[in-house]
Every structure is written in C-alpha cells, then in structure tokens.
C-alpha cells in the first residue's frame, strides 16, 4: 500500500502518497476558486486551511467541454469544477535540503480543454530522474481567454503566472530549488511558454523554457479579441461585458465555448479565412498591460532565459485526415480553402516540391504548408529573434508502415517527452495502437526525455544551439536521430516576409 505523508505549504498542510520512492501531492490550491464574485477577475490568493488537506487524489480541472482529445483516457480530466486553480507535485525527495531542479508543466488543449493531472501528464518519470515536476490547471475558454477589457484580459495566462509565483514561494518544501525552474508545455502549453517569456509579470519566475509545437504568432489585438467576445455574448443573449457575462451559468458558458471553437474553425476554414488557421478563437491578447507585445516582438525582454523548442514534422496531418474521414465529399473544397487561406503562391509551392520533404499533391502540400505556417516558421522566427541561447529540434518519428514525412503529427511526441510509452499502451486503446503501432521505439523515448531532463538540470539539452549565422543547427529526433543544418531552409526562405 502507498504510504501517506504530508508537506506544509504557505496556506496549510497537504497530504500525498509515496510509492517506490516517489512522492505525489495533488489538488494543492495556488489561487482561490475563480467564480462567483471572483469571476473574470485576476487570480486571488486561496484561503488558508486548518488540518491537512487531502492531496492523494486529483482535484477538478477548469470547466470545459468534454471530448477534447482522441486519447481521452490519457489527456482529459476525470472531473471539472469551480475549485480548479490547483496544481500537483511529483518529487523524489520532499525535503528542503534536496534543492532539485524543477519543471512546471503547462498543459495544452487550445485553451479550451485539458488539465495538469491526467495520466498522460504524470510527473512520475521526471521525479524518477531527479527532477521535481509540477502540473498546473488554469482557466480555459470563455472564463480564461475571452477578452473583457483591461483588468479582465488574459486571465488564463495570469493564472499560469500565479502558479509560477506559488512555485517560487513553496517548491523548496517539496525538495525543489526555486532558482532552477524550467517551464514546459505542448500545443496550447507551448504557446503559453512562449507567452510567459513575454509577460512582464513572469520575469524572474523561471530560468528555462521548453516549448513543444507552439506558435509565437498566435496572439491577437483587442479589436480581433472583441470580435469574438461580441459573437459569444450575442449567442448567450447578454452584453459583451463582465457584468453581462458574470451570472451566466457555467454549463451555458461551457457550451458556448465549444460553439465558438467549432464556428471559428469550421466556418473560417471553409471560407478560406486565415484567422481560422490557428483553430481556436481563444488567444492571448497583446497590446495590453499584461502582454504588451507578442513573443517575437518582445524577444530579449526575459534576459538570460534559455529556450529549447521545436515541432513535429507533420503537425496538421491528423486534423486533415479527420476532415477527410468526416466529410469525404467536402474534403477537396476544404483543402482548396486551406491553400487559399495560407496564401500559398508558386514560390512557396516550389519550395516544398524542391525542399527536403519533396512535397507533391494538394493534400500533402496543404498539410506541410499549414504545419509550417502554424508552428515551424513561427518557432524559427522566435528563435532567430532571441539574443539568449536557443536550441531547435524536429520530432520526425512515425510508424514505419506509412510513407515518410506523412504521420509525425501533432502531439505524437507527448509520451516520448515523458519516456512513458507504457501508459499509452495501457490506456491508449485502439487509437494509441493506430498512432504508435505495437512497438514504438523505447530508445527514442529515453533520448527525447533525456533532453528535457538535461535541459532542466544543466541548461543544455545536448546539441549545439541554433545560430542563424552558424548553420541553424536542428536536432532531428527519430529512430536514428541526427543533427541537420537548416532543416527547413527552402521553406523558411519562401515564407520570409509573409510569416
């Protein structure tokens, strides 16, 4: 039986469980429940508690629509609820003397889905390798990312910053060193990492950053954000203000979140609207006090913070496949709409045809262009704008029974980053087998995970930093990994001045 123990935080003691030498403490509040009188306000400190709070099971995630991920058993929360601004800690040694490196994981999900505590985000393997792992929740959808004016903006990002402040004040009690904190995340979490680099309020709260499949150009200005706010409010029959939305029941705002998401993506892509290429209407809002500029424009304002970042080879492959399966008759029109939205002229088409991937055919061309427009080019632009050291990678592995450069899709790297293929095998079901096959490479999982651990521990993932004047080194993670100079050279040049 796991042994129950407790650690005292600034607000009270919390229990946890120990198993095989690793300790896990769950459902720890870093801020008060953000609803009722606190709804649409910046995060507030939690109330202190007496006794020992039960931290042996996960607390509720932020209210959200169901069914956000095909691998729901791996990445979806068990419950949702109002007391959601909590985090969990995995540690090999919960003693102040340990002074271990710390990673803080910001989950993905398009600012609409997800949580910090599902099985696929377990911090067990990081703790196994001597790193304290913190997984956080934050507000999502309408309650976290609907723009309601200064002071009521970027609330999900403010939650993330509040969690990082909690880490600075409390992580030593769990064996972590607050001067050795690395933030990391994938997809919406990767975007969040990039945005935290740009947030003035987060300076000094972390010393390293890892962004998987993020987009440095995903923010919008207040005018575009208000367009979405007005649409949402109209659908709910209320004014597009804090006062108009504050008393709308959570079940209605959750449904409205999903409606806004599907409308924004489906209708926009069908019409060839480039605003819909990033799929989610919920974004960080720049030109605000919280987020003055986007990550590329603010590069250099988080001095001394190294960055490890990269993408998968075919970020959009699974989405395009899903569109084809769900609406086979509409798929050709969607592909043409995508090409129109991407503004792919002859120069860009030729770059893909003659580049390393030798991309031909409308479907493959749209997938490659969408991947680069949404992820790879914005990632490269951020790396090239930063004066601090940055390391670039491309995760290229896919099952060997499909054509090359076709199936290393969005999120395929998640279990590799955690060296946790066993959990995929256990909980992934038929979808997991279809994505990863029956024998995914354990050695690659160990190698990719080691880069995360080494970066968090030593500030260096193990290959040369990216330098646009010195080779543009990129680490390719595959069954046989390699180092490639300027892996996206032809495409990068073709997108110059356009993305």
State whether residue 61 is helix, strand or coil: strand
**In the 8-state DSSP scheme, what is residue 474?**
E
For 25, 30, 162, 208, 386, the CA distances from 205, given in Å and listed in that order, are 21, 15, 10, 10, 19
Neighbours of 232 (CB within 10 A): 24
Spatial distance between the Cα atoms of 375 and 188, rounded to a whole number of angstroms? 11
pLDDT tens, 222-235?
A: 999 999 999 999 99
Spatial distance between the Cα atoms of 398 and 416, rounded to a whole number of angstroms? 12
Sorted by sequence, the CB contacts under 8 Å of residue 426 that are 6+ apart come out as: none
Q: What pTM was computed for the model?
A: 0.97
pLDDT for residue 328: 63
For 106, 311, 316, 369, 435, the CA distances from 364, given in Å and listed in that order, are 31, 17, 10, 8, 18
Confirm if 447 and 475 have CB atoms less than 8 A apart: no
Using CB atoms within 10 A of its CB, is residue 153 exposed (0-12), middle (13-18) or buried (19+)? buried
Which of 93, 171, 182, 176 is CA-nearest to residue 455?
Answer: 182
Confirm if 62 and 32 have CB atoms less than 8 A apart: no
pLDDT for residue 334: 67
Confirm if 130 and 457 have CB atoms less than 8 A apart: yes
For 274, 281, 317, the CA distances from 268, given in Å and listed in that order, are 8, 11, 19
Confirm if 32 and 44 have CB atoms less than 8 A apart: yes
Residue of 88, 298, 315, 390 marked active site: 315
Any catalytic annotation for residue 315?
A: yes
Q: What are phi and psi of 446, to 5 degrees?
A: -65, -40
pLDDT for residue 200: 95
What are the counts of helices (DSSP H) followed by strands (DSSP E) for the chain? Answer: 19, 13
Neighbours of 325 (CB within 10 A): 9
Number of residues assigned to the chain: 499
For 211, 246, 412, 488, the CA distances from 368, given in Å and listed in that order, are 20, 42, 16, 11
Residue of 58, 122, 187, 216 marked active site: 187
Instruction: Spell out the SS3 assignment of 6-46.
Output: EEEECCEEEEEEEECCEEEEEEEECCCCCCHHHCCCCCCCC
Spatial distance between the Cα atoms of 420 and 228, rounded to a whole number of angstroms? 38
Any catalytic annotation for residue 11?
A: no
Sorted by sequence, the CB contacts under 8 Å of residue 247 that are 6+ apart come out as: none
Residue of 133, 409, 410, 449 marked active site: 410
Confirm if 213 and 309 have CB atoms less than 8 A apart: no
Any catalytic annotation for residue 243?
A: no
Tokens of 9: 């935080």
Confirm if 160 and 84 have CB atoms less than 8 A apart: no
pLDDT for residue 491: 94
Q: What is the CATH number of domain 1-499?
A: 3.40.50.1820
pLDDT, one tens digit for every residue, the chain (499 residues): 566 789 999 999 999 999 999 999 999 999 999 999 999 999 999 999 999 999 999 999 999 998 756 678 899 999 999 999 999 999 999 999 999 999 999 999 999 999 999 999 999 999 999 999 999 999 999 999 999 999 999 999 999 999 999 999 999 999 999 999 999 999 999 999 999 999 999 999 999 999 999 999 999 999 999 999 999 999 999 999 999 999 999 999 999 999 999 999 888 877 788 989 999 999 999 999 999 999 999 997 767 899 999 999 999 998 888 776 666 655 666 677 788 889 999 999 999 999 888 888 888 999 999 999 999 999 999 999 999 999 999 999 999 999 989 999 999 999 999 999 999 999 998 889 889 988 999 999 999 999 999 999 999 999 999 999 889 999 999 999 999 999 989 999 999 998 9
């Amino acid at each position: 039986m796991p042994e129950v123990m407790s650690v005292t935080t600034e607000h009270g003691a919390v229990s946890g469980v120990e198993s095989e030498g690793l300790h896990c403490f769950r459902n720890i509040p870093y801020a008060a429940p953000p609803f009722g009188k606190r709804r649409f306000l910046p995060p507030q400190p939690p109330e202190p508690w007496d006794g020992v709070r039960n931290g042996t099971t996960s607390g509720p995630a932020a209210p959200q629509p169901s069914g956000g991920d095909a691998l729901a058993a791996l990445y979806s929360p068990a419950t949702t609820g109002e007391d959601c601004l909590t985090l969990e800690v995995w540690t090999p040694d919960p003693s102040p003397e340990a002074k271990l490196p710390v990673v803080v994981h910001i989950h993905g999900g398009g600012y609409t889905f997800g949580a910090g505590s599902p099985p696929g985000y377990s911090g067990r393997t990081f703790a196994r390798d001597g790193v304290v792992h913190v997984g956080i929740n934050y507000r999502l959808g309408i309650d976290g990312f609907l723009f309601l004016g200064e002071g009521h903006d970027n609330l999900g990002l403010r939650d993330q910053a509040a969690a990082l402040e909690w880490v600075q004040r409390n992580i030593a009690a769990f064996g972590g060193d607050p001067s050795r904190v690395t933030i990391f995340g994938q997809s919406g979490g990767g975007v969040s990492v990039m945005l935290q680099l740009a947030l003035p309020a987060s300076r000094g709260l972390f010393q390293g950053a890892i962004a998987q499949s993020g987009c440095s150009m995903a923010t919008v200005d207040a005018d575009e954000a208000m367009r979405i706010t007005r649409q949402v409010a109209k659908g709910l029959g209320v004014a597009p203000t804090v006062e108009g939305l504050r008393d709308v029941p959570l079940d209605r705002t959750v449904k409205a979140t999903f409606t806004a998401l599907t409308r924004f993506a489906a209708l926009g892509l069908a019409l060839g609207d480039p605003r819909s290429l990033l799929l989610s209407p919920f974004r960080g809002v720049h030109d605000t006090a919280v987020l003055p500029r986007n990550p590329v424009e603010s590069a250099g304002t988080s001095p001394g913070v190294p960055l490890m970042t990269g993408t998968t080879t075919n970020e959009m492959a699974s989405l395009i496949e899903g569109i084809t399966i769900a609406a086979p008759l509409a798929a050709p029109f969607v592909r043409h709409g995508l090409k129109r939205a991407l503004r792919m002229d002859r120069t860009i088409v030729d770059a893909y045809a003659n580049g390393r991937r030798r991309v031909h055919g409308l479907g493959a061309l749209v997938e490659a262009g969408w991947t680069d427009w949404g992820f790879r080019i914005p990632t490269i632009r951020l790396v090239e704008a930063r004066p601090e050291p940055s390391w670039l990678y491309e995760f290229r592995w896919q099952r060997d029974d499909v054509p090359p450069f076709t199936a290393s899709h969005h999120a395929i790297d998640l279990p590799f980053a955690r060296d946790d293929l066993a959990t995929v095998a256990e909980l992934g079901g038929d979808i997991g087998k279809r994505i990863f096959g029956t024998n995914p490479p354990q050695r690659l999982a160990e190698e990719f995970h080691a880069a995360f651990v080494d970066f968090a521990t030593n500030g260096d993932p193990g290959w040369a930093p990216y330098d646009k004047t010195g080779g543009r080194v990129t680490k390719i993670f595959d069954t046989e990994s390699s180092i490639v100079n300027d892996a996206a050279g032809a495409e990068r040049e073709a997108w110059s001045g356009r993305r």
